[in-house]
Structure 1
Amino acid sequence: MHKVWKLLLLSSCLAVGLTAGAQDDQAPGQAQANKGSGTRAELAKQPPTLQNIYGRQHVLLDGRWNYIIDPYETGFYNYRRQPFDQSPSGAGGFYDDRKPKDKDDAVEYDFDSSPTLAVPGDWNSQNAKLEFYEGTLWMRQKFVAAPKEGKRYFLYFGAVNYEAHVYLNGKKIGSHKGGFTPFQFEVTGKLLKGQNAVVVKADNTRHQDDIPTVNTDWWNYGGITRDVLLAETPDTYIEDYQIQLAKGDMGRIEGYVQLAGARRAQDVSISIAELGIKTSVRTDANGRAAVSIALSKNKVRYWSPEDPKLYTVSIAGATDKLDDRIGLRTIETRGHDILLNGKSVFLRGISLHDENPLIPGRLRGEGDMRMMLQWAKDMDCNYVRLAHYPHSEEMIKLADEMGLLVWAEVPVYWTISWEKPEVYANASQQLTDLVVRDKNRASVIIWSIGNETPVSPVRTEFMGKLADTVRSLDRTRLVGAALEVHRSGDVVTVEDPLAEKIDLASFNQYAGWYWSNNKEMLKFSFKVNYNKPVIVTEFGADALGGYHADSDTKWSEEYQDQLYKNTFKLLDAIPGLRGMTPWVLTDFRSPRRPHPYYQDYWNRKGLISETGKKKQAFYTLKSYYEQKQQQYK
């Protein structure tokens, strides 16, 4: 994709110029060291992830990467199971990308002769031998650079699933754990003039003490699944910023600007030309300044699904300038109501995975993402739940542009190791990375801290701390979680101590599928013990596209369609119902679903089949949402 212009960009001039102590800047969003194979000293050198990476001068390193399958991790460990990169020389692994010195030198790998994979992209969908593979793949890309003095350079990865070790020209520059959040390493002073090579050890092995844990209901796609960029900044640059309406105040922008580098104290201007706004702040010795800007309400077009207006916001200092497109809106709750720009709104939503049903594997670019979001809009949705992990930055920006509200989630899922501090640290870091990346996107209205986590004291403490973490990073949005329900007789109760820590009574329920059936489900009723907006985050039924029977026959489109009709009757009886995200927009792949006929390793709860055909329930949900839209005009 875009192969020609990417190759042209790779030959463009890139820069180098590292001042002493330039890597000591720290902030949320740093890459995590890998337990047992990365060091704290190594981690401490790594800069925070750049805000608005695509707004930077950059070169995409996407394209075809050579790869080597390494199930025994021969390229990482010696025969005594000691990492090569922790030896005194740091040499000996596949990352050396070594060639034989002479005819007596036996080298047992060769990237140049190895096959290639497309990046961004998962390996499972690109090679039949790798469909179910979980383990290590080595991936290499060559590129040309011409580094310049006075510039800083960052090697940025949108996502690598799950554990990544990154090497530049044979030297380790860092490691990261987490399959869906961005990370970067500063490579100023490490780039060569001319040809360079980056090697990534990607390992998607599942572990009990990771986030997510070993048991999930989605495909464990391995590899470099999002863009790889080499970004250039000035020596002192705009590292981070937040420009959003103040909580509950449509007449004021609040936020901050953060600089990094040697000249941290300087004047910085923030301007929105279309609104006639230009103000200046002075950053302190740490490079930080608060921002507060009064607005004339009658001049502002507030962002909403009906009018997704984005303003060009320019931030400029003496050493750096950056533009972003930002929408202005408020989101809050009052009793049972969710207020968008002060007006009650019903969230007409759908859940979706970061997966294209028509082309195997992860979403690879704007076309894939726009297709998924457009399908949601075709169903009259104003809202999507991006489950069960952070989706790409491009997806969020498209939601901004297309006018879709977003529930953004981290993969704290089912039965993780609640009692272990290192597991909490991993979850907290992934949540932090998500908030730091997307805090300027108007579409994001809910930060979700997890999905279907069974109640226990240690779990509630864990999740409560995550809620506190979100609020410490961003108080302008709502905090949610997909809670479980409890059944007693014919009453389904939403009662969870975690509900006291979040803004919504949000829960999953599967009446008619995992319990009861279409004939019996209408006898149930819901009891929600909270004066909060009720959001039903999941319900649904599997249906094999094109399989037709009566509405009592599971797996048929008729059964799924009737279940939706019954569910609307049940949920409409809940006084505080203010939204829903049925499960799920499209069929998606899952190793948990082996039935050879109805599933074939697909979760069939999609309203659109793997061939892109809309099932009957698609139109039923669309009709229901059209009624809700009229009700909330």
Structure 2
Amino acid sequence: MIFKKIIAAFLVLLCASAFAQENLIVNTHNRKQVSLNGTWHYIIDPYETGFYNYRYTEKGEKDPEAYWNNPEPHGKTDRKEHGYSDDYTIQVPGDWNSQDDVFKYYEGTVWYQRDFDKPKLEENERLFLYFGAVNYEAHVYLNGKKLGMHKGGFTPFNFEVPQELLQDKGNFLVVKVDNKRHADEVPTLNTDWWNYGGITRDVKLVITPQNFIQQYALHLEQSQDIEKAKKRKKFTISGHFKLNSASEEKITIEIPEIGLKEKVDISGSEASFNFDAKKLELWSPKNPKLYEVKFSLGENTLTDKIGFRKVEVSGKDVLLNGEKIFMRGICIHEEIAPEIRRATNTADAHKLLGWAKELNANMVRLAHYPHNEYMTRAADSLGILVWSEIPVYWTINFKSDAVLEKAKKQLDEMIIRDQNKASVVIWSVGNETPVSEARTEFMKNLVMHAKEKDDTRMISAALEVGYNRGTNYIDDPLGEYTDIVSVNEYLGWYGDLPHAKVKSKWETAYNKPLFFSETGAGSKGGFHADKETRWSEEFQEWYFEETLKMMENMPDNYMGLAPWILVDFRSPKRNNPKYQEGWNRKGLIDDKGNKKKAFYTLKEYYDKKEKEFEEK
């Protein structure tokens, strides 16, 4: 038995090592690249015939009927039972569900294929194949050779392309995409959002020097007294670099706007630094200042736009740059409802965040998974605070070491990608996880892992609460480890009616900031009735009126809320044939893009809260 446990533990570690993304390349949009977005071919393969033989074992690399190969028949007697055709094409990036009715409810394997010509490479340049995200499991092949695989539907990954594998023309790229849900994956079987399958984010060839800066973090030093730094107008900047291989050169950091230029020594393939910067404007929602930063290694320079700010918890308050803030939030799914599809580009990000700005929100909770990098880049430029979350959702297998490693991997990939986004102020490790000893240990591990990876942000998780007519006491044991106590609250929608909120009292077991990470009620856009009629806009408006009255009587650690949700979104769980029709209707904006009455109720409250804090 002991031997079996040792072997099991070894396999978990081996699996984690094989799929870890220590080699993830960041800031790909500012590197030399060739886009592979556009039209791809596809084969729908529900039985995974292209991957397994009839004994259900993985096909050999050179098997002519493996779908990563494309042998041409040499004569009329040759047999070939698959092929890619211009009659079956799909757009990348994009989910498959919205592109053809045959895909609407499909969960399974789809093979993607396209050709590309070898890009022009200078001597000693390297080539990487980068995916912004593929939902959920991806196996990647080039010219019949497997480059690797990745699990996780919302985080990026890349593989180096061996030069000897490249052809000058017609390189045959194939990706096996599988979005089936499994009990031992992250997320697990049961979610309340649409399982959009496909290559949902950008695909590109990234061209790098032989030795290059792979990852980096640049931020205000957390230990400094921010008030003293502001008075003397001199701040300490710290961070680190990770190169793809060891180097004896120095890295030069420049912020031309403030005349800063520093050289950093490298130890092997890594470097840490700490230096002072004068005349630095701090990033905030009121002043989303971004600086052009240049990183040079040898003759190669990489640029980025970075904001500098300090977010911290001080007793019952959250401080941004030393000043108490109130988070006027809203939750968002990565979906463009009027077109019933995943959001995929800059325009989509600005549409969603533009609606949030119209609401007078200064914060968004990106639920329930890391959103496209376009969202966090846009939030940086627009001055919107961001809560970013991994999809540890509801009924994860909390007793599984393998599932914990998968969650950690997604946490790592989220943090690595966005650790230089000033807008991201909260890493969330999950949503509405049921309390048990195993669950709390699992989630505690994720909280500690996040803190180890990044100490410049708050760590939280959306907790549940039990309701009663007296005091709602928040004492989830996970609250001991998170930086803020965040809770999802639906009194008046699930159980009782909105008037029950009037006498509802709230207390927490923890002397920490209290944030309401969800609250909301459903309504069908355009359906009007009296306020007690469920699904009417008037009922949702009433719910928000009572909720916001309740919020005015919160304890003094109350520091914000993010109601559920900005826009109606697709969900197979929502099957009222008249009012839902496969949509979660808790949006303040309906699936056609029309604002519901509750939108204006919340906006009025946010206008009031903004004025209160300005007057202070």
Match among 236, 240, 245 for residue 211 of structure 2: 236
Contact 1:166 1:173 in 2 (8 A): yes
2:275 corresponding residue in structure 1: 293
Change (3 A) 1:41 1:624: closer
Contact 2:467 2:491 in 1 (8 A): no
1:245 corresponding residue in structure 2: 220
Identity across matched positions, percent: 46
2:55 corresponding residue in structure 1: 80
Contact 2:127 2:206 in 1 (8 A): yes
The amino acid of 1:411's aligned partner reads P
SS in 2 for 1:134: coil
1:265 corresponding residue in structure 2: 248
Change (3 A) 1:306 1:248: farther
SS in 2 for 1:424: helix
Cα deviation for residue 491 of structure 1 reads 2.2
Deviation string for 1:276-311 (max 9, x for gaps)? 110101111x22111112122xx2211011111100
Pairing of 1:302-381 with structure 2 (within 5 A): 302-381=282-361
**Alpha-carbon distance in 2 for matches of 1:57, 1:144:** 16
Note the residue ranges of structure 1 that are not aligned, 5 or more in a row.
Answer: 1-34
Q: TM-score normalized by structure 1?
A: 0.91
**Alpha-carbon distance in 1 for matches of 2:113, 2:306:** 36
Match among 549, 558, 561 for residue 529 of structure 2: 549
2:567 corresponding residue in structure 1: 586
The amino acid of 1:168's aligned partner reads L
Q: Residue 278 in 1 paired to residue 261 in 2? A: yes
**Alpha-carbon distance in 1 for matches of 2:386, 2:238:** 21
Contact 2:19 2:149 in 1 (8 A): no
Pairing of 1:91-490 with structure 2 (within 5 A): 92-148=65-121, 149-189=123-163, 190-249=165-224, 250=226, 251-261=235-245, 264-284=247-267, 286-296=268-278, 299-490=279-470
Contact 1:405 1:444 in 2 (8 A): yes
Cα deviation for residue 580 of structure 1 reads 0.6
SS in 1 for 2:379: helix
**Alpha-carbon distance in 2 for matches of 1:379, 1:568:** 15
Cα deviation for residue 318 of structure 1 reads 1.0
The amino acid of 1:572's aligned partner reads E
Cα deviation for residue 144 of structure 1 reads 1.1
Cα deviation for residue 99 of structure 1 reads 2.4
**Alpha-carbon distance in 2 for matches of 1:141, 1:81:** 27
Pairing of 1:552-631 with structure 2 (within 5 A): 552-575=532-555, 576-631=557-612
SS in 1 for 2:335: coil
The amino acid of 2:129's aligned partner reads L
**Alpha-carbon distance in 1 for matches of 2:450, 2:87:** 44
SS in 1 for 2:540: helix
The amino acid of 2:259's aligned partner reads G
**Alpha-carbon distance in 1 for matches of 2:407, 2:260:** 39
**Alpha-carbon distance in 1 for matches of 2:501, 2:468:** 14
Contact 2:63 2:69 in 1 (8 A): no
**Alpha-carbon distance in 2 for matches of 1:335, 1:589:** 39
Change (3 A) 1:430 1:388: same
**Alpha-carbon distance in 2 for matches of 1:467, 1:519:** 36
The amino acid of 1:216's aligned partner reads T
Cα deviation for residue 518 of structure 1 reads 2.2
SS in 2 for 1:632: helix
Cα deviation for residue 596 of structure 1 reads 1.0
Deviation string for 1:13-65 (max 9, x for gaps)? xxxxxxxxxxxxxxxxxxxxxx99xx969938986110111111001100011
**Alpha-carbon distance in 1 for matches of 2:15, 2:548:** 52
SS in 2 for 1:520: helix
**Alpha-carbon distance in 1 for matches of 2:423, 2:510:** 26
Note the residue ranges of structure 2 that are not aligned, 5 or more in a row.
Answer: 1-10, 227-234
**Alpha-carbon distance in 1 for matches of 2:16, 2:477:** 39
Contact 1:178 1:430 in 2 (8 A): yes
Contact 1:46 1:186 in 2 (8 A): no
SS in 1 for 2:204: strand
Cα deviation for residue 314 of structure 1 reads 0.5
**Alpha-carbon distance in 2 for matches of 1:97, 1:340:** 56
The amino acid of 1:56's aligned partner reads R
Cα deviation for residue 333 of structure 1 reads 0.9
Change (3 A) 1:309 1:153: same
The amino acid of 1:525's aligned partner reads K
Cα deviation for residue 438 of structure 1 reads 0.4
Match among 480, 501, 508 for residue 528 of structure 1: 508
**Alpha-carbon distance in 1 for matches of 2:359, 2:390:** 26
The more displaced of 108-117 and 148-157 is 108-117
SS in 2 for 1:223: coil
Cα deviation for residue 90 of structure 1 reads 6.0
**Alpha-carbon distance in 2 for matches of 1:160, 1:453:** 25
The amino acid of 1:130's aligned partner reads F
Change (3 A) 1:47 1:152: farther
Q: TM-score normalized by structure 2?
A: 0.94
The alignment yields a C-alpha RMSD, in angstroms, of 1.8
Cα deviation for residue 343 of structure 1 reads 0.5
Contact 2:65 2:80 in 1 (8 A): no
